[in-house]
Amino acid sequence: MLDIEGFPVMLNWYVVHRKNKRLPPVALAFKQFLMEEGAGLIQRITGVEGLIRHG
């Protein structure tokens, strides 16, 4: 990992989908994976904590 001033760049990530459309099983599994594991993976890679908010 490079030590560059101002990095990592912190962005807001959102998981969105249309309410009236059913997600296929693979999309549901991916969404669940992101919600359960995504913040931990990003934190481990970047070293930045407190990245996930549920709304």
Q: Residue 42's pLDDT is what?
A: 76
Query: Residue 42, class by beta-carbon neighbours within 10 Å (0-12 exposed, 13-18 middle, 19+ buried)?
Result: middle
8-state DSSP, 20: T
CB count, 10 Å around CB of 50? 7
Lowest mean pLDDT among 6-15, 17-26, 29-38: 6-15
Element (H, E) at 19: none
Q: Report pLDDT digits (tens) over 22-52.
A: 999 999 999 898 888 887 887 787 776 655 5
Rounded to whole angstroms, the Cα distance separating 3 from 54 reads 30
